[in-house]
Each structure stands twice: as structure tokens, then as C-alpha cells.
Structure 1
Amino acid sequence: MTRTAQFSTKDKILGAAEELFATHGFAGTSLRQVTGRADVNIAAVNYHFGSKENLVNEVFRRRMDEMSAQRLAQLRRAMADAPGEIEPIIAAFVEPALDMASGRAGSGAFVRVIARAYVEKNDALRKFLSEQYGHVPREFAAALAGCLPGLGKAELYGRLDFLAGALTYAMADFGLIKRPPGTTEHAHRTRIANELIAFAAAGFRA
């Protein structure tokens, strides 16, 4: 098997798993369903991932590695260019996520996978996400704490959780705000980002 063929097979499995997890959840999706959707055999899943738990983890890693890197890079620019201002920090948290949710490279289904991670009890997945990506919200909390010295740690982390929940809701397009006819996806996402940033900034300052 060539390197190109290996990548293609692995990517097909990840894409199929992402779609099925988005629709049926983690517990509700079997490896047989994944292999059927990806048109591969179970040996291919075992070769590339070893277990369903590892497959779930890799579905997250495929999207979140890039998004986390973008968030942290934008955060560093915000702190260098606008020290003491919280809106650019919040924008660094919000904008890369909404950009991913626009659906480029088939990432639209992953938004629903994130929502599943919030509502399903999956201790192994939560441990993986905490270990791999827990440093990201901690860096944002530290940056915000520097701008809001009067806000206690519990309140700060609670409000960051509220922001993450509102962002996930907005990314999944569950709410009442729909894209108006004639408005581009980019313009719609920009408007949502600006409104969410303003709303969250007021919440952090309260």
C-alpha cells in the first residue's frame, strides 16, 4: 500500500466517522457502520486507529489541532497589538471556531460532533480533550485575567465556559439567527462573531 493510498483510506475513515458521530453520537455509532460508510474493511480501521476510542480521538485531533493553533497565534497577536483590551482576546477565541464552522473541507459535521461531546457522557473523550487541548482555555483565561484583575478565578472560568457554550450553539446554527437571503456566508459569520464578541465582553466586565 502506497503512502498516498494509506492517507486516502485513513481520511475516508475519519470523514465517515465524523459524519456518523454527528448524526448518531459516539455510543450510537458502531465500527461496522463506519466501515460501511467509508467502504473499507474492519482491518483498515484496526490498522490506522487500533480501537474505536482512538478513532473518536483522532476525529477531534484532525480539526482541533489546527483550530487550537490558530486561536493561540491570534491570541498572541492580540496581546502584542492591543494590550489590556479584552475584545481582541475574545475574538481570538471566537473567530477561528466560526471560521471552521463555515464548512470548508467538510468541517461542518464536526460542529455537531462538538455538540455531542458536550451532551454525551464519555469520560475517556473528556480526559483526552482535557489533556490535549486544556492548555488553550487556560491561556485565554490568563490573558483575560490580566485585563480584569478584579474578577475572581471562579467567575473568570465560569464566564469562559459560558462563552464556549454560546460559541458552540452559534457554530451549530441551532438558534433563531439565520442567514438572511442575499447575505454571504462570510458576512453572516462576521456579523455573528462581532455580536458574540460584544456580548461576551460585556459579560466578562460585569
Structure 2
Amino acid sequence: MTNHFNTKERILHAAEDLFAQHGFAGTSLRQVTSRADVNIAAVNYHFGSKENLVHEVFKHRMDEMSEKRLSALSECVAKDPADLHGILLAFIQPALALTMDRHGASFVRVLARAYAEKNDGLRNFLSENYGQVLREFAKAIAVCLPQLSKEELYWRMDFTAGALTYAMADFGLIRRQPGVTEKAHCEKAAQHLIAFAQAGLKA
């Protein structure tokens, strides 16, 4: 059984690294099999097609992240439904924590590719599988900011999610200072992003 699991994991990690480097269209299954050191039959057995493999790379990371987000959200709302800071923390922290994972950094680049490449199939997949998570957060934020119309709220949430993706990808002007641990840098990024998002949502 372990062997089974290892093969699947190896294929997922190889695909994630290659998608991060070359994009989805630019990566062939042959490259994936060569990087994972498996044959094409193994990919077909575990995933069936390249499209499924792309979807599984996302599920592999996002299922867990979504679960953490939603459980932090329900805890926060149970304590205080008007705690906008806590709601944003529940949204932002699990995503930034992903960047701390050794393989997570590759996935963040894959995520940035998903935004950059006009891949409708992938967008539909993400919206069908993870759109509900955003809607749950929108509902919670609407309670804190009843003056916002639904459209205005969705615009502001889109910008917040975009800023979060950008912070995750670490493209920005802020580099981790020498002597600052990855974890401390990540926590600082979360604090700044939450302050920024709160101000933007309330504007």
C-alpha cells in the first residue's frame, strides 16, 4: 500500500514542480513521468488524464487549506460574529502557512499560473470546488459590514484574495530580512495584509 501511495505522491510533486516552471500547457506527461521516475501507465492508473492530474495537484493542497480556513472561520464566528480581524485571519493564515511547506512554494507558483493562464477548464474546476469557501467568508464579512452591497463586497474580496496570492508568491518589494525566520516573516506578512484588507473592506 505504501508503495502505491509513494508513486502517487511522487507523480503529484513532480507535476507540481513542472507546472510551476513551465505552466500547464508547457508541461508534457512525458516530462512528469521522467521527473517522477515512473512509467506512463502509473500516471494513467492514478490520474487517468493530464487534466485530472492538474486538478489533483490543486486538490492535494487546497482541500486541506480550505478545511483549515473553514474551521478557523466557524470558531471565530462562534466567538464573535463581528470580529472582522479574526475572519480575515482565518482566511489569510492557512494560505500563508502553505508557503512554509517545503513543496508549498512550488504550489504557490502553480496557483499564480492558474490566475495568469487563461485556462477555463481549470477556472471552472476551482470555482466549483472552492467557490463555496469564498462564499462562506463573504457571508461572514457581510455580517461585519452590512453597509456594503453584495457586488461591492465581492469586488473587495477579489482584491483581498489577489493581494494574498501576491503575498504568498513573495513577488513583492518586501524581502525577508537576514536573521528573520521564515515563520516570523510569514506572521508579519499576515499582520500587514490583514490591516490592509480590513481598511480596504471598510473603505
Task: Mark yes or no: TM-score above 0.5.
Answer: yes
CA deviations on 1:90-125 (whole Å, 9 max, x unpaired) are 111000000011124x22100000000001011111
Q: Aligned runs of 1:84-103 on 2, under 5 Å?
A: 84-103=82-101
1:186 aligned onto 2:183? yes
TM-score (norm 2): 0.98
CA drift of 1:78 comes to 1.1
CA drift of 1:200 comes to 0.2
Q: Aligned runs of 1:99-178 on 2, under 5 Å?
A: 99-104=97-102, 106-178=103-175
User: Identity, % of aligned pairs?
Assistant: 66
Question: Partner of 1:134: helix, strand, or coil?
Answer: helix
CA drift of 1:5 comes to 1.0
Q: Aligned runs of 1:49-88 on 2, under 5 Å?
A: 49-88=47-86
Residues 81 and 143 in structure 2, CA contact (< 8 A), matched pair in contact too: no
CA drift of 1:192 comes to 0.6
| Partner in structure 2 of residue 40 of structure 1 | 38
Whole-angstrom distance in 2 between the partners of 1:99 and 1:21: 21
CA deviations on 1:60-109 (whole Å, 9 max, x unpaired) are 000000000000000011111232121111111000000011124x2210
Equivalent AA in structure 2 for residue 198 of structure 1: A
| Partner in structure 2 of residue 5 of structure 1 | 3
Whole-angstrom distance in 2 between the partners of 1:117 and 1:190: 25
Q: Which runs of 5+ in 2 are unaligned?
A: none
Equivalent AA in structure 1 for residue 9 of structure 2: D
Whole-angstrom distance in 2 between the partners of 1:13 and 1:41: 10
Equivalent AA in structure 1 for residue 63 of structure 2: D
Question: Partner of 1:151: helix, strand, or coil?
Answer: coil
Question: Partner of 1:94: helix, strand, or coil?
Answer: helix
| Partner in structure 1 of residue 12 of structure 2 | 14
Counterpart selection for 1:31 from 26, 29, 32: 29
| Dislocated runs of 4+, deviation >4 Å | none
TM-score (norm 1): 0.97
CA RMSD of aligned residues (A): 0.7
| Partner in structure 1 of residue 195 of structure 2 | 198
